[in-house]
Structure 1
Amino acid sequence: MNRRDPERSLSVPLRLLERGPITWSATVPAADLAEADDGDRLRIADVEVPSDSEVDVELTLELISGGLSAAGHITAGWRGPCARCWIPLDGQACANVREVFAATPREGEQYRLHPEHADLAPMVREAILLELPIEAIACPYPDPCPNHPPDLDQATDEHAHDDPAEQPDPRWAPLEALRRGQAESP
């Protein structure tokens, strides 16, 4: 049995699974995946899924012994700054999931299965957050980046010709002092 409805929620009535596995497709606003208690958005550092965007969910749901199995993929668009020039960049987070819902879930291993329905929202939220980039996003432009401020390029060029051996890193000064002290000792 296939269910396709762009307005579908992430709350699946278990009665729909009585005859066997189903494909559950839903497109939900990212704002619906915010944590209810603190209004936290789908965000990791400077990268976020915009609240006004949509999250697509395509899962195969099946009742199993002691719970529900959910397998499929979740897709959401994200926005974050370039690591070099800070222009906004867009990307796609795609998560493949295979999870179990149980009436008495094991902490960190399963999701809660309610008596009448399965709430897929916590699983979808976690899957998307795990797929967001947590490192600096590479600039899509080749060097030199057209969005990079010219005064920063000049500051870099001024020091590009300095000999690194002539200017030691000041963080190593305490170690260098220890070395000099040991060399002078009898």
Structure 2
Amino acid sequence: MSRTPNAAADPRSPLVFDVSRLGRRPGAMQEIRQTVPSPARIGLDLIAIEPGAPLDLDLRLESVSEGVLVTGTVGGPTRGECSRCLEPVTGEIDIALTELFAYPDSLTESTTEDDEVGHVIDQTVNIEQAVVDAVGLALPFAPVCRDDCPGLCPTCGVALSSAGPEHHHDEIDPRWAKLARLVPPDGQPS
């Protein structure tokens, strides 16, 4: 999702906020404390906030000379799978958010690239991309169910945490396989 000044925000999105009450009066402020459903899957391949999951918003929207400054926290439940054993992993994430949305025709809007800052469009700000970026940076790239997760057996694929210490496979290095056939099954030389 790009932040272009020409793109209209979906007013039905729970992460789009009307800032018309702030006017363009620096110092005017609006606080938002609510829980909204996640509009989409937010995160990485192995772990994310699922669509519809509750997002806890504690935000402050402040009018500044160049736009609207959004600060606060966003939190929600995460779901995914362990990168070692593929077992389900759940958790919570809380991210800090600080994002400037430039007013149309402001100096900030005219001196920055389209995707460098957000924009106030039709008296609204859409924080979805800022939340997506912050969550993506905060989540672990390779989540684990526990720090000492042993993963899966590379031979048979069973979870090593439930396989027990006796789990092993007698494998012969393929380079020595022909020599192993020369030794009788009882291991005694002939």
Provide the TM-score with structure 2 as the length reference.
0.62
1:43 and 1:142 mapped to 2: Cα distance?
A: 22
Is 1:114 the equivalent of 2:102? no
Instruction: Please state how far the C-alpha of 1:149 moved relative to its aligned partner.
Output: 4.0
Alpha-carbon deviations, 1:127-175, whole Å to 9, x = none?
Answer: 222222212324267889x97341796238x69xxxxxxx9xxxxxxxx
2:166 and 2:135 mapped to 1: Cα distance?
A: 36
| Residue identity matched to 1:81 | E
Identity over aligned residues, as a percent?
22
Alpha-carbon spacing, 1:109–1:152, altered in 2? closer, same or farther (3 Å) = farther
1:85 and 1:151 mapped to 2: Cα distance?
A: 14
SS state of the match for residue 122, structure 1? helix
SS state of the match for residue 59, structure 1? strand
1:121 and 1:52 mapped to 2: Cα distance?
A: 14
Root-mean-square deviation (CA), in Å?
3.4
Is 1:125 the equivalent of 2:138? no
2:51 and 2:165 mapped to 1: Cα distance?
A: 33
1:81 and 1:152 mapped to 2: Cα distance?
A: 24
More helix by share: 1
Instruction: Please state how far the C-alpha of 1:22 moved relative to its aligned partner.
Output: 1.5
Instruction: Please state how far the C-alpha of 1:52 moved relative to its aligned partner.
Output: 3.4
C-alpha contact 1:47 1:80 (8 A) present in aligned 2: yes
1:92 and 1:111 mapped to 2: Cα distance?
A: 26
User: Which residue number corresponds to residue 9 of structure 1?
Assistant: 14
C-alpha contact 1:87 1:147 (8 A) present in aligned 2: no
Instruction: Please state how far the C-alpha of 1:123 moved relative to its aligned partner.
Output: 1.8
1:60 and 1:154 mapped to 2: Cα distance?
A: 55
User: Which residue number corresponds to residue 74 of structure 2?
Assistant: 74
Instruction: Please state how far the C-alpha of 1:98 moved relative to its aligned partner.
Output: 1.1
C-alpha contact 2:43 2:135 (8 A) present in aligned 1: no
SS state of the match for residue 118, structure 1? strand
User: Which residue number corresponds to residue 94 of structure 1?
Assistant: 94
User: Which residue number corresponds to residue 188 of structure 2?
Assistant: none
Aligned residues: 145
C-alpha contact 1:79 1:91 (8 A) present in aligned 2: yes
C-alpha contact 1:60 1:71 (8 A) present in aligned 2: yes
Task: Name which of 159, 168, 178 aligns with 1:155.
Answer: 168
SS state of the match for residue 155, structure 1? coil
SS state of the match for residue 148, structure 1? helix
C-alpha contact 2:76 2:93 (8 A) present in aligned 1: yes
C-alpha contact 1:27 1:54 (8 A) present in aligned 2: yes
C-alpha contact 1:84 1:148 (8 A) present in aligned 2: no
Provide the TM-score with structure 1 as the length reference.
0.63
